[in-house]
Every structure is written in C-alpha cells, then in structure tokens.
Structure 1
Amino acid sequence: MRLLLIRHGQTPSNVEALLDTAVPGAALTALGEQQAAALPEALADEDIEALYVSTLVRTQLTAAPLAAARGLEPLVRDGIREVSAGDLEMLPGDSEHGLLYMKTVFAWAAGETELRMPGGESGTEALARYDAVVAEAAASGAGTVAMVSHGAAIRMWTAARADNVDVPFAAAHPLRNTGVVILDGSPRDGWKALSWAGALVAPAGEGGPAGRPVDTE
C-alpha cells in the first residue's frame, strides 16, 4: 500500500506556537485554508482511493477540498489524532514545555514506549492507536491511502515504523503545514519512506545513514 501522511493546514495555535492537541482543536487560518485548497493539485498524480482524517477539526477542514475533488467521503478516526499533550496542553511549544513534549515523542519512536506524557498517554498507547488505523486502511485493499493527521504524530509513527527513517532524521526535519510523508509497505512487511515533504529518502544502507535525504530539490 502507498500511504500518504499529510499534516493539516495552519491553525491559530500553530501561529502562536501552542501545544493544542485536545479535541476539537482550532480551525484553520486564512493561510491554512489556502494550503488546504492547494492539496488537490499538489496530489494530482496520486491515485487516492481512501481518505482518513482525525477527530480534530483542522484535519477535516484540510481534507475537505481533496475529498470534494476526488469524490471521497473522509473516514474520521481518533487513532490518527495528535499526540496528547496532557498536562502540557495549550502551553507554549517554543519553551521547555515543547522540548519535553517532543523529547517524549521521540523517545517513544526510539523504543521507550513505556514513557508517559505528563498527564497524557504512553508511547505504547499512541503507537497502538495509530497502528490500528493504518492496519484498517491496509486491510481495505486500497492501493493508495491518504491520512490527514498531525505533525508530531506523523514524525513519531514514521520514525518508529519506517525501516529507513531514524529518530535523528525525524527530529531534524519538522513537517510544515500540509507537508506530506509518503511510505510504501504494509503492517506485515514493514514500511519504507519514499519521500519526506518532497525530498527523497534513501533506503537504509543504500546512501548513507537511515533517513538521509538524497534529493532535496
């Protein structure tokens, strides 16, 4: 299966650098709406057969233009929502609170899944819910699936599950609004990241360290 993980468009909380992870969350800014409107053209070459969104409003608004263009009904799944900030909810993300949040997220991706976000979920719980939605999509038989999800969740899951993306790469490459990570594989056979926000990703051992971009044009 070809899996497109798409970060939602810009929100006011993004502009203010807030850890906004609770449902329903913020809507899109005017720029976020423009980003969403550009998705159908940006993904014109992708034969998307199923479209998933999270329970947060921003993913549903981001997916709406793509759904309309392709005649798809978005499937709402809680499993691909953002990593819960717990006690850090709505605190500044560009502070020690944000550092703790991302440190915990990447520790999960590195295998320390027993750790728990302060007042929130554990890595085991976060990965399990995301895995469940990906497994559902794979079982549907669709060749290409798009999921409009969230930055930290996408980076965490990809670093944990893609054979050729490691934590240092995911940590060093934030995903901009409506940025897309494209993977190929299956829950049974594993996953390989093909591109990260337009940059090709080298297979592990075939071009340097895991997750090393080989073409950033």
Structure 2
Amino acid sequence: MRLILVRHGQTSSNVEGLLDTAEPGADLTELGRRQAAALPETLGEIPVDLIVTSTLVRTQQTAAPLADALGVEPWVRDGVREISAGELEMRGDDDAVHAYLEAIFSWGNGNPAARVPGGESGEEFLARFDAVVDEVVATGASTAVIVSHGAAIRSWVPARSDNVSREFAARTPVGNTGVVVLETAAEAWTTLTWEDQAIGGPAVDTSLTDGPAGEPLDVDA
C-alpha cells in the first residue's frame, strides 16, 4: 500500500515558534487554511481510500478540504498526534526547542527509552503511531493519507523506513503541509519522496513560520 504522511498547515504557534503539542492545540492561520485548501489539487490524481487525522484540531482543519473533495469521512486517532513536549510545552526559547529535538532524534541512535523532559519516550511514541498504521494497513486500503505533525513524521519515518536515516530526518525539515510518501511490500516500508516545502500559499521563510518541529537539527553537533 501507499502511505502519504502530511504535516498540518501553519498555525499561530508555528509563527510564534512555540512547542504546542497538547490538545486541542492552535488553529490554522489564514496561510495554513490556504495550504490546506491546496491539498485536494495536489493529491487529486491519487486515489485516496482513507484519511486519518490526529486529535489536535490543526490536523482536522488541514484534512477537511481533502476529505470534502473526496467524500471521505476522516478517522480521528490519538496515536498520530504530536510528540508530547511535556515540561517544555508552549516554550519557544532555543534551549527548549533544542532539548525537544535532541531527545526525539536520540531515539534512532539506540536510545528509544530516552524521554522528552516530562513527556514521552521513543518506545511510547512509536507504539502508538505503529498501532494506527497497523490499523490502516489492516483495512486493505491501497492509499491512505495520515495528517500528522512535524516531529512525529520526522521520528516515525526513519524508525520504520528502510531508506531514510535518522541523520537525514534530523537535518531535513517537513514544512507545513509538507508530504512524505511511503510504500510497503510485505512488512518493509520504503520512502518514495520527502517533501520539505509547503504546499500552496505564497513563498515564505519557513524558518520563521513552520515552528520548532520544522527546524533542522545537526545530530553530530
């Protein structure tokens, strides 16, 4: 099957550079709504059978135009929500953002038990995201879209794809409404494309508007 992972559109917390991971989370900005509105045209020729969103409102708002265009009722699943920032929630200072990203990218370096301060471990995150993906695969759908979050996508893909490294994911952002496409044969996932540019909307400086989960991290630093 083909699995299309889409990061939600821009939010006010992205603009302010905040680690906003708790429910319900910020709404989409006007730009975020334009980005969401562009998804049907961007994915329009792909026969999507199933759409899944997280419990955070920004993913549901992002998925709505695509769901309306396809006449598909999205599933809402807690398992694909953003990685909890714990004690760092709603902080945007450099120390907090670095601590968050450093923790999640340490999971792919043989340390899945590491925990975001006051938040989740890699084992906990992967278990919940895997459970949703397994549920999707079990439907027999040929193509499914999961509208999720930047850190979640950048953590799950290198953990489960046979051709994306932790280093690549750490250094390569997924912008708002950026798309990562994977396919599976048997039990192995292979990443076909990794899109780190926003879909729709005007050209913007993503370093200022995509938020902490869209920032690159030098894992060798």
TM-score (normalised: structure 2): 0.87
Would you say 1:114 and 2:113 are equivalent positions? Answer: yes
Counterpart of 2:202 in structure 1 is none
User: What is the count of residue pairs matched by the alignment?
Assistant: 197
Larger proportion of helix: 2
Counterpart of 1:27 in structure 2 is 27
Deviation digits for residues 102-156 of structure 1, max 9, x if unmatched? 1111111333111111111111000000000000000000000000000000010
Match of 1:189 among 184, 187, 207: 187
Counterpart of 2:168 in structure 1 is 169
Counterpart of 1:36 in structure 2 is 36
Query: Is the 1:110–1:160 Cα contact (8 Å) retained in structure 2?
Result: no
| Identical amino acids, percent of aligned pairs | 58
Aligned residue type for 1:177:
N
User: For 1:68-147, what aligned pairs fall within 5 Å after superposition?
Assistant: 68-92=68-92, 95-147=94-146
Aligned residue type for 1:84:
S
Highest RCO, 1 vs 2 (Cα 8 Å, sep ≥ 6): 2
Unaligned runs of 5+ in 2: 198-221
Aligned residue type for 1:78:
D
Deviation digits for residues 82-110 of structure 1, max 9, x if unmatched? 00000000000x50110110111111133
Query: Is the 1:111–1:160 Cα contact (8 Å) retained in structure 2?
Result: no
Would you say 1:148 and 2:151 are equivalent positions? Answer: no
Give 3-state SS (helix, strand or coil) of 2:114's partner. Answer: coil
Note the C-alpha offset of 1:198.
7.3
Unaligned runs of 5+ in 1: 200-217
Q: Moved runs in structure 1, 4+ residues, more than 3 A?
A: none
Q: CA RMSD in A?
A: 1.2
Counterpart of 1:12 in structure 2 is 12
Aligned residue type for 2:73:
E
CA distance in 1, matches of 2:108, 2:152: 10
CA distance in 2, matches of 1:147, 1:128: 16
Query: Is the 1:2–1:143 Cα contact (8 Å) retained in structure 2?
Result: yes
Counterpart of 2:209 in structure 1 is none
Give 3-state SS (helix, strand or coil) of 1:191's partner. Answer: strand
